Amino acid sequence: MRLLITNIALLCNAEGPASLISRRSGAEMSVMPCMPDAWLLAENGIIHSFGSMAGLPEVHADVVIDGTGRLVLPAWVDSHTHLVFAAPRDGEFVDRIKGLSYEEIARRGGGILNSARRLNAMDESELYDQSLARLDAVMATGTGAIEIKSGYGLCLEGELKMLRVIRRLKENAAIPIKSSFLAAHAYPVEYKENKEGYLNLIIDKMLPQVAGEGLADYMDVFCEEGFFGVPETERLLEAGAKYGLRPKIHANQLYHSGGVQVGVRQNAVSVDHLECVGDAEVAALTGSSTMPTLLPGAAFFLGMHYQPARKIIDAGLPVCLATDYNPGSCPSGNVPLLLTLACTQLKMSPEEAINAVTINGAAALELEKELGTIKVGKRANLILTKPLASPSLAYLPYDYGNNNIERLIC
């Protein structure tokens, strides 16, 4: 199948054949090669060739799309989500408006434990149907690859149920999906006084089965005061590594809790959240291959301070952005809205924000060889926008709240 897109107003993040970038860091995050008035040819889902309309060769195509007034971009890679969940938590949203904090709600048995109760009561096929509907919705706003976590089971059966739902999504969805094992998301009620018992359950019972069935690509831990401390995180990540699971962890959301440092020590692919990042965390990340991933949607929805993106970029580091789509701290998987937050609140330029959720998102899922930029030989995993009032990169985060994505090509 050959698909030709002609008259593209702006072909964004397009790399030449000699380019070897695997992620963009520091000042390079402002680099985004764009070609005006362009064409692109995809063959069997792979980018075959592209160029300027002035040099359009004669090609046979099965489908031709007129890109007049539209952008074509590499699809978003959303590298951190909890898209598989059983029920919304709008009651807690109201509790927070009335003054309760996210931590206070968690201490009262709400939050993640609330989601675990609902998930364990739902059968696997209903969980799958709900999750598939959410996946379809985020694909419609341009998400072309996604990571999904377990972590609302908090028991062997519940965690396996979530991971099997993710496996079914992987098998049936048109886009690449990676899964992370997050049993260490919260201590379940029955282990509140026996934390050692829950750690042993994860390490001795859950991990062997999860790894044995090939259900996870990564190992995640909510490393935070009041959840899993640094020694526990280290122990869990070392146990995961024995099964070949690299870490991708929740770190430094609520406090300067040492999560970034333990992630870097354990060779994490990424450390995610990073509301609380200072000089020590930046120093730990410098020289490492661990991707700092910021989740401003959670800071927005919980009314917390935003991640210091400028400090991280200005130190020469890369920044990745992801939605954190989940029923508690960010019930939205909408990447265009995330881009607006990144620009207005984190003071990232549109180029930086789009690099953060394309090539750097791909790097945070170890998919940078096949996704994240428009390059001959990479997957034709593309966003086609609607005709835009101003066909510029900045228009996408500027025109917030409006859906400018016409379709995902994948």
Residues that bind ligand NIG (CB under 6 A): 82, 111-112, 115, 222, 250, 253, 298, 324, 326-329
Tell me the window of 39-47, 83-91, 93-101, 322-330 that interacts with Fe ion (CB under 5 A).
Answer: 322-330
Minimal distance, residue 225 CB to ligand NIG, in Å: 12
Nearest residue to 295 (alpha-carbon basis) of 330, 258, 336: 330
In the list ligand NIG, Fe ion, none, the entry touching 221 (Cβ below 5 to 8 angstroms by class) is none
The residue among 308 and 327 lying less far from ligand NIG, judged by its C-beta, is 327
Tokens of 320: 């990745």
Nearest residue to 49 (alpha-carbon basis) of 4, 109, 87: 4
The residue among 250 and 378 lying less far from ligand NIG, judged by its C-beta, is 250
Minimal distance, residue 149 CB to ligand NIG, in Å: 8
Tokens of 42: 């995809």
Position of minimal CB gap to ligand NIG: 328
Number of chain residues interacting with Fe ion (CB under 5 A) = 1
Minimal distance, residue 335 CB to ligand NIG, in Å: 16
> Could you say whether residue 351 binds Fe ion (CB under 5 A)?
no
The residue among 275 and 324 lying less far from Fe ion, judged by its C-beta, is 324
The string of DSSP codes covering 315-376 is TT-B-EE----BTTTB----HHHHHHHHHHTS---HHHHHHHTTHHHHHTTT-TTTSSSB-T
189 and 113 Cβ atoms separated by less than 8 Å:
yes
C-alpha of 229 from chain center: 24
Q: Which of 159, 232, 324, 352 binds Fe ion (CB under 5 A)?
A: 324
In the list Fe ion, ligand NIG, none, the entry touching 112 (Cβ below 5 to 8 angstroms by class) is ligand NIG
Burial of 277 (C-beta count, 10 Å sphere; 0-12/13-18/19+): buried
Tokens of 313: 């970029």
Nearest residue to 24 (alpha-carbon basis) of 13, 16, 34, 35: 13
The residue among 272 and 351 lying less far from ligand NIG, judged by its C-beta, is 272
The residue among 96 and 250 lying less far from ligand NIG, judged by its C-beta, is 250
> Could you say whether residue 92 binds Fe ion (CB under 5 A)?
no
127 and 83 Cβ atoms separated by less than 8 Å:
no
Q: Note the residues at the interface with Fe ion (CB under 5 A).
A: 324
